[in-house]
Amino acid sequence: MSSRATAPQGSPLRQLADREGFLAWAMLLPAVVYIVLVVAVPFGLAVAFAFSDVTAGDPSYDWVGLRNFARIFEDPVFWKALGNTFVFTAVSMALIIVLGKVLANILVADFHGKWVVRFLVLLPWTTPVALSTVAWLWLYDSVYSPIDWVLRNLGLIENHLYFLGRPELATASVIAVHVWRLVPLAAVIMMVGLLGIPTDVQDAAKVDGVGFWRRMFEVTIPLTMPLIAVAALFGAIFTFTDMAVVYILTRGGPTNSTQVLSSWAFIVGIEGGDIGQGAAIALFLFPLLLAAAVLILRAVRKIEVF
């Protein structure tokens, strides 16, 4: 390492470059200012909009109290969207945990062609949601769906299923896409946990003759619980707040049966131009998000295996 100083020891500039208190603020401030201006202020604004009559055509701010909330409560579509948001999130979270765990176990195992499998498995997570949803839109096509074709040729169905045309099937279709795109992410997070278990713990259990299933439920799952929780909560947050899947697959249809809070907020707020009401709808996402964030943080703090 060079021994020459960059500036004379006593110069004021050099003193500044050595003062940690000053440096800490100077280095952090740009990021903090940006986040305050473009996240914190807009968040406050979003709350304020929920109590206003702001529209795209008339952006002047007038306080209207709880009128937006009264209006969205009268609308059955809002209640449907609220219910769907919870159902979609709960069902996909359960599936994401189970399938993510299975996939994580596959990914940590040693086998030939692992690189290729890992690449193929990552595709759903790394591809932009909008594009992978378009791929699914084609799989769900009302006439040319290959799933239909297989079932027809197996003699299981006579005609077309119309995946996105019937409320229950459309709901299942949306959930399937969420699960498909989030399982790889959950698996990678759970994989981190599995890699963190000291090998001697596993080996000790093996030497003691403990079988695969008992090892899994009595050793690895308890040890990696915090990361399983993190994976589940991330899966939940991404399902909860996403609107691309619903928007591209069904636009909330048929007859709003797959509408969720985020897509409904978008349709009311941007396409309908009623920003006040859209903001009021989106606000309902906040309490649950906050709870999930606190839970993630608590789980993360328990990760001390590493």
Partner 1 sequence: MSTAVVDPAQATRLRRHYRRRHLLSRTALYTAAVLAALVCAGPFGYGAITALKLNADLYDASNNPFVFNEPATLDHVVFLFTDTAFATFVWNTMWVGLLVVAITLALAVPAAYALTRLDRPWAGPMGIAIFFVYLVPPTLLFLSLSRLVVATGLQDSTWSLVLIYPTITIPVSTWLLIGFLKALPRDIEEQAMVDGYSRLGAFTRTVVPLLFPGVVAIVVFAFTLVASEFIYALAFVSPSSEKVVSTGVPTELIRGDVFFWQSLQAAGVLIAVPIALLFNLLLARFISGFTQGAVKG
Task: Tokens for 74, please give them.
Answer: 């009268």
- Binding to partner 1 (CB under 8 A) within 86-105 occurs at 102-103
Pick out residues in 176-195 that bind partner 1 (CB under 8 A). 180, 183-184, 188-189, 191-192, 195
Task: Work out how close the CB of 79 gets to partner 1 at its nearest, in angstroms, rounded to a whole number.
Answer: 18
- Separation CA 184–CA 154 (nearest Å): 30
- The residues near 132 (Cβ < 8 Å, ≥ 6 apart) are 123, 124, 177, 181
Return the residue of 127, 157, 217, 272 that touches partner 1, per CB under 8 A.
127
Minimum CB separation of residue 73 from partner 1 in Å reads: 19
Residue 134 in tokens:
């378009």
Minimum distance of partner 1 from residue 181's CB (angstroms): 9
Among 70, 157, 204, 270, binds partner 1 (CB under 8 A): 270
| Binder among 128, 209, 222, 287 for partner 1 (CB under 8 A) | 128
Establish if 108 lies at the interface with partner 1 (CB under 8 A): no
Among 95, 170, 237, 246, binds partner 1 (CB under 8 A): 237
* CB nearer partner 1, residue 87 or residue 289: 289
Which value, to the nearest 10 degrees, does the dihedral of the CA atoms of residues 227, 40, 181, 167 take?
120
Residues 146 to 175 in contact with partner 1, rule: CB under 8 A: 146, 149
Burial environment of residue 111 by CB neighbours within 10 A (0 to 12, 13 to 18, 19 or more): exposed
Q: Which of 57, 60, 76, 116 binds partner 1 (CB under 8 A)?
A: 116
Calculate the alpha carbon distances from 63 to 48, 51, 255, 276 in Å: 8, 6, 32, 10
- Helix ranges, 109-216 (H): 114-126, 129-139, 146-153, 167-196, 199-207, 212-215
β-sheet bridge partners, residue 52? 63
Q: Check residue 282 for interaction with partner 1 (CB under 8 A).
A: yes
Q: Tell which positions 41-60 bind partner 1, by CB under 8 A.
A: 42-43, 45-46, 49, 54, 59
- Regarding 197 and contact with partner 1 (CB under 8 A), the answer is no
